[in-house]
Every structure is written in C-alpha cells, then in structure tokens.
Amino acid sequence: MSTKLWGGRFTQPTDQFVEEFTASIGFEQRLAEFDIRGSKAHAAMLGRQGIIETEEADQIIVGLDGILRDIDAGKIEFSVALEDIHMNVEARLIERIGDVGGKLHTGRSRNDQIAVDVRLYLRDEIDTLVEYLEKLEAALINQAENNLDIIMPGYTHLQTAQPVLFSHHVLAYREMIARDISRLLDLRERFNVMPLGAGALAGTTFNIDREWVAEQLGFSGVTRNSLDSVSDRDFAIEFCSFASILMMHLSRLSEELILWSSSDFDFVELSDAFCTGSSIMPQKKNPDVPELVRGKTGRVYGNLISLLTLMKSLPLAYNKDMQEDKEPLFDTVDTVKGSLKIFAAMIAEMKIKGNNMRIAAARGFSTATDVADYCVRKGLPFRQAHEVVGKTVRYCVENNKDIPELSLEEFRSFSKLIEKDIYDYVTLEASVNARKATGGTARSAVEHELSRLKK
C-alpha cells in the first residue's frame, strides 16, 4: 500500500526516478515560512467556522510553529518522497500531533496552497526590492548633488552631441529607477489578492471564510474565480517583466560605467571594492561588478521567456507544468536583489573625474547647436542656420580648431548675422545654462529638480 498522503487511489508505488523527477522540494524549501504562515491562518479559520474543533485548530497552529522553528534550526531534512513543501510540512505535522494534523487540509488543495505561498513569498521580496531600489535612487541623487557643476559631453550614437551637466545625466537614470519602483508597486497592488479557498479548481463545499483569512495574511481581498485562482501565473510573469526592464536600465548604466572607467574615457573611478585585477597584467583594474550585472541581464530575460513559454498553451486549470514556474521566478528575485544591493553601494562610492569630463565636453564641437540657435535668433531660418554651422564645423575640422577658438572674422565668413556676442553663447557653461526649460540640463533646472526630489 502507498505511503503517499494521496496514495489511496494507487496500488503500485511510484517509480523512484519518477519521484525524483517530479519532486519540487529541492527548490521549494524557501517557501516553508510562507506555507506555514498560510496554513496557520487556514487552520484558525477552520476552527473559527466550526469546521474543526477550536482545540484542534490550536493544536495544529502550535504544531506548525514547532515545525517552523525546527526548519529554521536546520533540524528537519526534507524528503523527495514527499514531493513538495506542502506534503513535507503536513507529514511532519501528523507525526508531531497525530491524526489531528490530517484535518489541516480540509477545504483546500495543494493547487491553491502553492498559489498563496508564492504570492506571500513574492510580496515580501518586493518589499525588500523597493528598499534596495530606493537606496539606488538615493545614491544617484547624492552623486548629482555632490557634482552639480561638472560638465560632460552628452552623446547620441556615442558621438559627442551637446554638453550636459553630469548631474543631469545621472538623474536620467534616477527617472528610470523611479518608473521601475512604480511598476513594482503597481504589480504588488495588483497581485495582492488571496487565492486560498479556490480548492483544486472549483472551490470547496465547506463553509470557509476566505475574506477573514485574506485579512489575517495581509491581502487586500480574495480572487474572484476559482479556476483563474489556481491556473494562472501572470503575476510571476509580470514580476519577471518588471525585472527585465529594471535589469535593462542597470545594464545600460553598467555599460556607461565600463566605458567611463576605461583609460580612453577616464571619467570615473570605481572603488577597489567593486573591481578585480588580472592574473597576468598587474596594471589592470577590471570593472567586474557592472560587467556581471550587464551579463546577468540576459539571464533575467531568459527567465521571462521561460515563464511565457511555460504558460502559453496550458488549458485550465492546474497542470504539472506549472511546477516549473518557481525556479525562474526564484532565480530572478535572487539576481535582481543581488544586483541592486551591490549597485547602490558601488554608485555611492564612485569617484567622478570632473576635469577629464570637461576636457572631453570641449572636444567634438559640442556647442555647434548653440551657434545654429544663435543664428535663428538673429532671423535666419533654422535650415539655413544648420547649413551655416555645418560649414563652420567643416572649416574647424580642416583647420584643427574648435568653435570657441574661431575669430569673429572667421565666424562672419559663414554668416554676416554673427556679431561679437557670439562668444556669449559658445562656452560650455553658456550652452548648458541656456537650456532652462523644465527637464533641461541648465544648472538652475537641475537644482530645481534636486530640490523637488529631496522633498
């Protein structure tokens, strides 16, 4: 006779390899706390509703508390033969308190049980991730505030385009991180509804109080359709989608840090704590942390695709395929959490080489657009002004000069509209500070934005 908790229907034992192949306890162990948290609320509700005796509910809750203490102390060895975290906990509960432990599963299924476990787990992880994201936000804001007057080249196509404040550049990433936080909080609100009580797929015949259990577990409400409750994992997919967008942002910043810390740019210096050396070249200081974050982005993308592919053809309701949802989700949580934890500290300790940034900003004709804008203000149509400045730049290239180095006569050889006041517009500071509109790179605009963010 089978010793499985579900073994009444079966006359043959499960093949040993099938046991190992189908078991999920290897990666579900991290759900133990959440499984027990949900089970305690469920047991209390069963007693409260008179479905089991109040004393039995209390006995179950005490037993579950003891099991969690033993798990935390490393005293429990999980069994592959018991398949998953639910069966491992329940079997030990029955061992501990006797047949009363078997009453815990009244009015629920492993299908709705795992759905609530994962939501409880992910909700806690999201709260931690929000803290890490806010630390990264703070690190970016502090770098902007501490380096407010540093001018650097702004790029398009990785070619020098216009001068910008370094603080403005850094705050661009803060905007991205702020949207990531917003996406994460939206997701948390959307999935914070409780599926427990949906049963295997059709609900339960017992007079359970789902709303009371939801309140005990901190959910904002309950799911409204039992089939949907157990058969979808869109919240996990949405989390991996959020994570992919976040990692894309971190990867872009990582790419810039890698470039900026190279000897060719030499814009920043990363702390030794976040770099490694070469086994053969003693002069090397390799930016391993941003390189790894950039590399791990592909891993998170892969987890998103895995979940989308997993769910794309599943009929309602639960299917064993859905056991494969947890490893990509867990790996994504771990990867994002680790990346954020180390990234915030790295940004906070990064040193900015303002003089090198300024020298680079002065190259590449970064104030050419300002000459065009100047000509427009003098009455020249923009397209004609564009052509005038294009010819001016070509002259500078041929004569190895930069735009601010041109004499007034040289300027006027391209347009008689240019006056002596042109020099008030072609310095780096003038170019930057002319862009005062909300969201611009002018010092006044960036100061205003920093003030707003600090409030």
Residues annotated catalytic, as ranges: 157, 278
Task: State the sign of the Cα–Cα–Cα–Cα dihedral 306, 308, 309, 311.
Answer: positive
Contact (Cβ atoms closer than 8 angstroms) between residue 89 and residue 67: yes
Q: How far apart are CA 305 and CA 240, in angstroms?
A: 9
Torsion of CA 80, 85, 90, 92, to 10 degrees: 60
Torsion of CA 165, 166, 170, 171, to 10 degrees: -20
- Dmax (CA) of the chain: 102
Contacts of 270 (CB under 8 A, 6+ apart): 257, 261, 285, 287, 289, 290, 346, 349, 350
Quote the radius of gyration of the chain (alpha carbons, Å).
31
Amino acid letter, residue 344 = A
Contacts of 190 (CB under 8 A, 6+ apart): 235, 238
Contact (Cβ atoms closer than 8 angstroms) between residue 239 and residue 335: no
Contact (Cβ atoms closer than 8 angstroms) between residue 56 and residue 103: yes
Q: How far apart are CA 424 and CA 420, in angstroms?
A: 8
Q: How far apart are CA 230 and CA 36, in angstroms?
A: 19
